[in-house]
Chain A
Amino acid sequence: MKTYFFKRLIAMIITLWLIITGTFFLMHSVPGSPFNEERTTNEQIQKNLESYYQLDKPLLVQYGNYLMALVKFDLGPSIKKSSQTVNDLLGRGFPVSFELGFYTLIVAIISGITLGVVAALRHNGIIDYLSMSIAVLGISIPNFVLATFLIQQLAVNIPIFPVATWSSPKHMVLPILALATGPMAIIARLTRTSMLEVLTQDYIKTAKAKGLSPVKIVFKHALRNALLPVVTVLGSLAASILTGTFVIEKIFAIPGMGKYFVDSINNRDYPVIMGTTIFYSAILIFMLLLVDLAYGVLDPRIKLHKKEAK
């Protein structure tokens, strides 16, 4: 197990390095600079700014400097938001995004799996059609439409929940609902499909022939085997939900990190682009590691390490 983790760690660092390198050079290959839009600045000021942020140095030197700083977990200063570092921005935004994402994931996973299991058990029944209709709606309605609809219905017309901001549990309900519907629908459909497949397996027949109750058959024998494909999509789904979503955070005025992804690119704020990309990649890579570990837990046939030679 130790060697497995060690190998994985090395691979993760290499992956991350490739992403950093790719993003860095792609970003710089796009014409323009952070100061292009500010027409008021004269040439000298622009030069001074560039030299302050070391943008006048050769690209490879900049790249080297960036890597050196990164090793010390220093993501550099933000160019647009002066006097703030990228570490500050992420440090403030991520906890909020993470909180929103975490609850969203819990809601999406629980409701998605429940919906999928119920649909599979009542295959081609009314409940199946109903829950799959919900799932199709969930996938096809963009979350910003759902978000504005929820605000209008549950915050304006019937004022149960606050319209926006992120301060109390009550404030969290609408954004979580709006954000969770899509992933829930994906999970529900996947769970249903893979449950239907598992339920036709011989070992389910064996379990029935043992006289087990339907509840035991579903939860002990079927669900665990049906969850593998669900876990697979959960990795990347979790990474993108946990690191914030631009649209939902914007609509509900949630101070998460979602907006930095978009703003930084609009502003050509190089350190923020790099910072958010690296941060997202790191989370994604970590989630994929968790997924692989979960495989091993769910299915004993998948061995992450060679413990015993067979």
Chain B
Amino acid sequence: MEKILQIKDLHVSFSTYGGEVKAVRGVSFDLHKGETLAIVGESGCGKSVTSQSIMRLIPEPPGKIHGGEIIFKNNDLIKLKEQEMRKIRGANISMIFQDPMTALNPTITIGEQIMEGIVQHEKLTRTQAKRVALAMLKLVGIPNPELRLKQYPHQFSGGMRQRIVIAMALVCRPDVLIADEPTTALDVTIQAQILELFKDIQKKTGVSIILITHDLGVVAQVADRIAVMYAGRIVELGTRREIFYQPQHPYTKGLLQSVPRLDIEMEELIPIPGTPPDLFSPPPGCAFAARCPFAMEVCKRVYPFKTQKSNKHHVDCWLQDERAQKLASS
């Protein structure tokens, strides 16, 4: 499959009064053309920072990308100048933020907000841009687009606004769409509609989607592949089937056990004990070792090697090492 975006060993940190927070510590993954890759993990695991690094939207300072490569169309985005990066933002890679209530400028009409992206990146007249904007609004399912174009964000409901945000992101037909918790702020029925819309749009435009979320329900609905992040690293990455049915990392298992499910009978939800490590001084070994019921001495000292479970599934865990005792299947 064609790789549209490759992230190699990305390191991002933020300097604060308390010291340097190592938010992303060596993240690598590929994004294939037309797929949806979900990045899941709890708050503060670095999933949003990773996505904003791809867009180079990390506020610098205090943030800093320390190393790694983000390869998009044979360019390393990290090395691009701000002006060159601006041509990619919105045109080739675009982003959707969590809260549609605040993501739109309250004082500018919807039409203008959609069209300014087109005008910025493509040599189109305003009439042409308007036609594109209308088509886009229709695509994301906004009824009466002619009238809606002239309205302001406060005249729309939350779900409608998220549709507009999506329309805005897609208006220049980007190759990659990064959606940072796109459904978190919406209620459940609207969530389902928006996820449906994502699938629909992907079918129509072939856009690759990186979906950032902590909601495994959302992931189960739309993701092709899933990357599980913990404390600034991807600890397990595999297809949806592999992650949901053959989770290998104890953290992934813990995540899955802590989500209510309707399809199997569960006595009670099992939370993962403890809290994520302090990223000012992350432990030298596996960051999950302190919370892991299966932790061994080596886990605390040395970060595990990557173990390839299938050609699409890999996991960072010492339990996968051939020298480790076999884990009773859980």
Could you tell me which A residues sit within 8 Å of B by CB distance? 201-203, 205-213, 216, 220-221, 224-225, 298-301, 310
Contact = CB atoms under 8 A, between A and B. Distances in A.
Interface in B149-203: 152, 154-155, 165, 168-169
Given A206-B165, A220-B116, 11 more contacts: A203-B106, A209-B97, A210-B90, A211-B121, A212-B86, A212-B117, A225-B105, A298-B107, A300-B107, A300-B154, A310-B155
Contacts, number: 75
28 contacts: A201-B102, A203-B104, A206-B104, A206-B165, A206-B168, A207-B105, A209-B55, A209-B90, A210-B89, A210-B94, A210-B117, A210-B120, A210-B168, A211-B87, A211-B89, A211-B117, A211-B121, A212-B90, A212-B117, A221-B105, A221-B108, A225-B105, A225-B106, A225-B107, A299-B107, A300-B107, A300-B154, A301-B154
Nearest to B97: A202
Contact of B97 (A205, A299, A300): A205
Contacts of A207: 105
A202 B99 contact: yes
B97 A211 contact: no
Contacts of A206: 97, 103-105, 165, 168
Nearest to B178: A209
B116 A210 contact: yes
Given A221-B108, A224-B107, A301-B154, A209 B89 contact: yes
Contacts of B165: 206
A56 to B, nearest CB: 60
Contacts of A225: 105-107
B104 A209 contact: no
B29 to A, nearest CB: 21
Contacts of B210: none
Interface residues of B, number: 30
A202 B102 contact: yes
B95 interface: yes
A153 B155 CA distance: 57
B4 interface: no
B57 interface: yes
A34 B112 CA distance: 63
Contacts of B226: none
Nearest to B106: A301
Interface string B70-89: 00000000000000001111
A119 B90 CA distance: 28
Contacts of A299: 106-107
Contacts of A213: 86
A211 to B, nearest CB: 4
A205 B55 CA distance: 11
B25 to A, nearest CB: 24
Nearest to A213: B86
A123 B154 CA distance: 30
Given A208-B89, A209-B55, A211-B90, A203 B121 contact: no
Q: Which 6 A-B pairs have the closest CB atoms?
A: A211-B90, A211-B89, A202-B102, A210-B90, A203-B105, A209-B95
Which of B104, B117, B152 neighbours the largest number of chain A CB atoms within 10 Å of its CB?
Answer: B117
B109 to A, nearest CB: 8
B88 A211 contact: yes
A210 B85 CA distance: 11
B136 interface: no
A300 B151 CA distance: 9
Interface string B111-152: 000001100110000000000000000000000000000001
B249 to A, nearest CB: 32
A205 B57 contact: yes
A207 B107 CA distance: 13
Contacts of B94: 209-210
A206 B165 CA distance: 9
A207 to B, nearest CB: 7
A298 B105 CA distance: 12
B91 interface: yes
Contacts of B103: 202-203, 205-206
A74 to B, nearest CB: 45
Nearest to B91: A211
Nearest to A298: B107
Contact of A209 (B57, B87, B98): B57
